[in-house]
Amino acid sequence: MFHHQPKRHPSNTKLKLHYGNEYRGFAVQQHLTLGPLIENYLERGLETLQHCLSAQTRTLVCRVDLRYPVGQMNSDALISNEVMSRFFYHLSKELTWASTKYTTDIRYIWCRERNSSQAPHYHVMLLLNYDAIGGLGNYGPSDDGTYSRNNLFHRVVRAWAWAIGCSEHEMSGLVHACQDKLSGRVYQCLDRRFPDSLRPVVYAMSYLCKTYSKAHELGQGFAVFTTSRI
């Protein structure tokens, strides 16, 4: 599998590397040739998911990928993650405006990656109260080409558009709803009453912990992986 297995990441020796196909008894997505996972991120992600189990009976889990328009990257994108603060600020507003019967805190796990492109992109795992929001909804654009529907996906698109300073007409392809590799669905339900429901969610979360797509970002002075604290 891996012939050379250093214990620490060369760009940040505080980061431990994990080479196994399991972590704390959970299956994880280990790439055979491109590199290991980062143990610190696996641990923090698992703690966040376990907190969701204790905080609410059911948690909606969905992953969206957020990208910049080609050639239209914000000036602060290369030196900070301020765009993510703006994104979550507006998403919080959107969920308040939704006026659902039950409220939801915004919990999340996200990572920042950059391969060959100039701009970074973000993988975001949203963790919301399933009783408040039970799915992403239709993730195609509205008939007029905007994202004006009152479902979660359109609210995410509007939040990302606000964060990067784009109009809704410019947002096609910039937010992607990701299918779960195991179930093929675009969302999962983490249910406290069914402990095994944590297994596929940990497997999906581990994708955000890979090293190979973070090589350009590690050691630059900003976070490449973070989670909510509530």
Closest CA to 26 of 191, 192, 199: 199
Beta bridge pairs of residue 77? none
Residue 204, pLDDT above cutoff 90: yes
- Judged by phi (left if over 0) then psi (alpha if -120 to 50, else beta), residue 178 lies in beta
Rounded CA gap, 211 and 113, in Å? Answer: 9
pLDDT tens track for 59-113: 999 999 999 998 777 667 777 899 999 999 999 999 999 999 999 999 999 999 9
Residue 216 has a pLDDT of: 63
Residue 2 has a pLDDT of: 55
Asked if residue 206 lies in contact with residue 29, where contact means CB atoms within 8 angstroms, the answer is yes
In 118-155, which positions are buried (b, 16+ CB within 10 angstroms) versus exposed (e)?
Answer: eebbbbbbbbbbbbbbeebbebebeeeebbebeebbbb
Residue 4 has a pLDDT of: 66
**Alpha-carbon separation of residue 68 from 34, 115, 122, 155 (angstroms):** 25, 14, 10, 17
Residue 33 has a pLDDT of: 76
Q: What is the pTM of this model?
A: 0.93
Average pLDDT score over residue span 119-136: 95
Rounded CA gap, 58 and 194, in Å? Answer: 10
